[in-house]
Structure 1
Amino acid sequence: MSAELLRWADACILPGFDGPTAPDWLLRRIAGGVRGVVLYHGNMDGPEQLADLTATLRAENPDLLIGLDEEGGDVTRLHLAEGSPWPGNLALGRADDLDLTRRTARAIGTRLAGLGVNLDLAPVVDVNTESGNPVIGTRSFGSDPERVAAHSAAFVTGLQSTGVAGCAKHFPGHGSTTVDSHHDLPVVTEGRAEFEATAFPPFRAAVAAGVAAVMTAHILLPAYDRVPATVSRTLLTDVLRGRLGFQGAVITDSLEMDAVHDRYGIAGTAVRAIAAGADGLCVGTHRGEARARMLRTELAAAVTAGELPAERLAEAAERIARLADRARPGRCLTDDQDDIGMAAARRALLADGLPELGEAPVVLEFQDEPTPAIGATAWGLGEVVAGRLPRARVVPVTDPAAPLPPLPAGGPVLAVVRDLHRHPATRAAVEALLAARPDTVLVEMGLPHHRPAAAAAYLATHGASRAGALAAAELLLGRRPQRPAPPA
């Protein structure tokens, strides 16, 4: 097994690790040839810690690729404790201002660059045509392919103007699925023409905008292949590179996800993905050292055994090297990062029939089980309202089937939900609440696909960002913004 093969294999592996401190094994591997890492929830403990972590990693290789998922909105790595200061894609699609999207993405890139991150695994360019989609939802710019395409290109342009590389995901399109690929393999039954008319325009737009990377989806499309997209040469090489003309780096979604892990294992998926046309392998965080070592050996062994062409592994390694060379954030400082987030969040609000709130509302926050992509990120409205109205009472509702606490006879009640249409028990509890208290204000912080007929007062934020919560509180409390959005 040659040193050259092992070097190529190392370059394709994007390992993760547990905890806020870089382990010694990873520092050794970076010094020895690993070209990139991906950071996850467990690696984050505030901006100062992240800046120290990236500096430690890059001390072993100044050209290291350091990536994470900073989408804005529901999916944030930088702002787990308080929620994102930038609204997510659905809110940006609702505002439908391409310059606002571009400037929001530029603000995200500026923040990442300042913390030593040079690859953002964003934007999500999936067209969310399935209201029950458990994994995309508010992460999408919407359900209209052309609108999603336009905002995808704007996001890529704004983000990459900072020198931070973008990554359009999840190819060939995760928006019409009803299964979360973290847990099982989604199957898309549409024919090619129908699927491409909806799913492909945003990827074409992102490629035309010069997106540096594309992430694969662990989904099965029988109209194209009998294997998941991540390991499909038809989709990654013939379609993405051949038909769509993409020349950048193809990065897999996490190999830990059950959609592929349960079928091929980590090593089996890795070898198949590289053979199909992928270049970078998101390994995940579990057993990081052992998996990185195992994958290095297995990729090189696959070449030796004739299962993986040597030139394909060399090509993948070269693409990752080019991506790392391209992802060099410049000095891009702006003073409107949070202002632009608030401007976008205000534009995204949908309000109807809102009453004047008194000084002591009861805020019922219906908790849901977060998806693995979102994780335990703070969301909700209660803390923001209580910060402005000290007499407000915030009540987390963890079991919607249990009786709600007694409510005051005349005071205002806010019911805060996320994706009400996807949670039958919460929907039943909210409808019972509205029957008993028709003056309840329903605040939807997810997809606004179900507004109960009895909800006379309704507010939708189009995402669960901190910016969205602040904008909603301004509107509910009658405190309008004093400053206009800053000039471009």
Structure 2
Amino acid sequence: MDTTANDAAVRTLARRVLMPGFIGTTLPDWVAEELRAGLGSLCIYGGNIHDNQQLAALMAQVREASPEAILALDEEGGDVTRLHYRDGSNQPGNAVLGRLDDPQLTRASARAIAREMRSFGFNLNLAPDADVNTNAKNPVIGVRSFGISPHKVAMHTAAFTVGLQGEMVAACAKHFPGHGDTSTDSHLALPVVAVDPFTLAERELAPFTAAIQTGIAAIMTSHIMVPALDPENPATFSSAILGDLLRGELGFEGVIVTDALDMAGASAETGIPVAAVRALRAGADLLCLGTDMTRDDYELVIAAIIHAVHEGTLDIERLRDAAERTTALAVHYRLGDEACEPVQLAVGDWARAFETSEALEAWSASSAPVQLVQVDTDSNMAVGRVPWGFASVADTVPADQVDPRAKVLLAARAVDEEHAVHELAARLRRSGQQVLVCNFGWPADGADITTYGASPVLARTVLEMLQVPTA
């Protein structure tokens, strides 16, 4: 057998199933070369985007190298945005849409996202988040979810899918079979969802079933353990979960996309190349390799796939099947030459989604000048360093420079009982100042306003509601 020719054939198939990221805001030569040679997909991250002009130039380079590639990014709307990584999303986010519970509005939000994506040349959105957020202390899902009701999450997952795919952007529901009932971030460790099969079917799987019935193009795996389904392998590496359940029982025929394989839950113990082979063997079709890939990183993954085929630990037919599925997605959602102008989402009454306390009445009645303070809060890796809260739409002051004559609005997110905002609010109140705590996130004790999201549109809504001028 001509192993050189065989290696070339396997490499061709391997390219079709890989979705790397890259470093910088211009297209690296090695990525352009691989695109021209048949690289199936590319994922753009916040660090690759400086502004619209630069992004347009970058995407033109990508399209010139490969008109057929699947070009993806995470554009959930709300807290998780890549197109608006520098200024914050222009959409409210899933939790707000779930609170308003208007599928037409959810569909409109997704449609606006899709039109904007397509205007830059993207044809795969790694959204919607279909997780049912039943654990209030979930560190990575929270407001990315449409809510805690399986029925509601299923309905809005379907609506979001219709909105995206109606504009010819493929949707990808995540994180299968459900990341909502976890208290660990899979970017950092390997979470466990310890539920019985009945609960899993009725709760976690309901949104994915709805997405499949809607005709969703792709579903993303999660790096979580679900002992009820597979006591030995995380979902991304489980043929029982991806094959028997997703393909067999649920009847999904689209593309199975992995969550990023550079996450600790996937590759901390084995490295990305081994994780890539395991995911393919389990039934994944398109491997999201993660951010900041170098040519050497990429070549190690290619080499691992070729080696696995030679050694017989990865069936060539499984690799061929994955490549055929990703090619079919690329063909169906291929970008044409037609112009695609963004559409603006009609402004919803986002304040109807908020929870408020009785303290608002007295605070609003006071004639004292207003000062805004934003309490630094670390975001999870899915969100990144995106502008949020009052600081994204107005001038704020440091906590130690608050005018003692002012009434104060405090902004915080990821609020728990130990959050610094509680101590700051108590100190200001002891000094006689009127204070409102605005929690830009999932509900938590001690908040006077809970917005269910941190995007600038929600911050602006809070200030309009309280009649506070914005910058």
TM-score by length of 2: 0.93
How far is 1:126 from its partner? 0.3
From 301, 304, 328, the counterpart of 1:298:
304
Alignment of 1:30-45 (within 5 A): 30-45=35-50
**In 2 relative to 1, CA 334–292 (structure 1 residues): closer, same or farther, beyond 3 Å?**
closer
Alignment of 1:327-406 (within 5 A): 327-329=333-335, 336-337=343-344, 339-340=345-346, 342-343=347-348, 345-353=350-358, 354=360, 355-356=364-365, 358=367, 360-382=369-391, 384-386=393-395, 394-396=396-398, 404-405=399-400
Q: Is the 8 A contact 1:356 1:476 kept in 2?
A: no
How far is 1:286 from its partner? 3.2
Aligned-partner SS, 2:462: helix
How far is 1:43 from its partner? 0.4
Q: Which residue of 1 aligns with 2:276?
A: 270
Q: Is the 8 A contact 2:32 2:62 kept in 1?
A: yes
Alignment of 1:1-80 (within 5 A): 1=3, 2=6, 3-80=8-85
- Per-residue CA distance 1:169-214 (angstroms, 9 max, x = gap): 0001000000001110001221211222210110001111111111
Mapped to 2, the partners of 1:176 and 1:432 lie a distance apart of: 35
The count of corresponding residues between Structure 1 and Structure 2 is: 459
Structure 1 segments of 4 or more deviating over 4 A?
Answer: 329-336, 356-359, 434-438
Mapped to 1, the partners of 2:108 and 2:366 lie a distance apart of: 33
Mapped to 1, the partners of 2:85 and 2:185 lie a distance apart of: 22
Gaps of 5+ in 1: 387-393, 397-403, 453-457, 481-488
Mapped to 2, the partners of 1:14 and 1:278 lie a distance apart of: 12
- Per-residue CA distance 1:27-81 (angstroms, 9 max, x = gap): 0011112111011111011112112111101111111111000010001001122
Q: Write the letter of the residue equivalent to 1:375.
A: G
Mapped to 1, the partners of 2:322 and 2:294 lie a distance apart of: 21
Alignment of 1:77-476 (within 5 A): 77-225=82-230, 226-329=232-335, 336-337=343-344, 339-340=345-346, 342-343=347-348, 345-353=350-358, 354=360, 355-356=364-365, 358=367, 360-382=369-391, 384-386=393-395, 394-396=396-398, 404-405=399-400, 407-421=402-416, 423-437=418-432, 439-451=434-446, 458-476=448-466
Q: Is the 8 A contact 1:365 1:382 kept in 2?
A: yes
TM-score by length of 1: 0.90
- Per-residue CA distance 1:389-447 (angstroms, 9 max, x = gap): xxxxx224xxxxxxx52644442111111122264444343344445446212211111
Mapped to 2, the partners of 1:44 and 1:112 lie a distance apart of: 13
Mapped to 2, the partners of 1:51 and 1:334 lie a distance apart of: 13
Mapped to 2, the partners of 1:345 and 1:56 lie a distance apart of: 38
**In 2 relative to 1, CA 344–238 (structure 1 residues): closer, same or farther, beyond 3 Å?**
farther
How far is 1:162 from its partner? 0.7
Query: Which deviates more, 185-194 or 421-430?
Result: 421-430
Q: Write the letter of the residue equivalent to 2:93.
A: G
Q: Is the 8 A contact 2:116 2:343 kept in 1?
A: no
Mapped to 2, the partners of 1:171 and 1:9 lie a distance apart of: 23
How far is 1:143 from its partner? 0.6
Mapped to 2, the partners of 1:478 and 1:252 lie a distance apart of: 44
Mapped to 1, the partners of 2:418 and 2:49 lie a distance apart of: 30
Query: Which deviates more, 296-305 or 431-440?
Result: 431-440
How far is 1:307 from its partner? 0.1
Q: Is the 8 A contact 2:408 2:433 kept in 1?
A: no
Aligned-partner SS, 1:343: coil
Mapped to 2, the partners of 1:359 and 1:430 lie a distance apart of: 17
How far is 1:147 from its partner? 0.3
Mapped to 2, the partners of 1:217 and 1:347 lie a distance apart of: 32
**In 2 relative to 1, CA 230–434 (structure 1 residues): closer, same or farther, beyond 3 Å?**
farther
- Per-residue CA distance 1:73-105 (angstroms, 9 max, x = gap): 001001122211101100100111100000000
Q: Is the 8 A contact 2:116 2:341 kept in 1?
A: no
**In 2 relative to 1, CA 334–437 (structure 1 residues): closer, same or farther, beyond 3 Å?**
farther
How far is 1:370 from its partner? 1.3
Mapped to 2, the partners of 1:437 and 1:207 lie a distance apart of: 56
Q: Write the letter of the residue equivalent to 1:248.
A: G
Q: Write the letter of the residue equivalent to 1:376.
A: R
Gaps of 5+ in 2: none
**In 2 relative to 1, CA 18–474 (structure 1 residues): closer, same or farther, beyond 3 Å?**
same
The root-mean-square deviation of aligned C-alpha atoms, in Å, is: 2.0
How far is 1:20 from its partner? 0.5
Q: Write the letter of the residue equivalent to 2:384.
A: G
How far is 1:448 from its partner? 1.7
**In 2 relative to 1, CA 450–315 (structure 1 residues): closer, same or farther, beyond 3 Å?**
same
- Per-residue CA distance 1:207-253 (angstroms, 9 max, x = gap): 11111111110001111111110000000011011111111101111
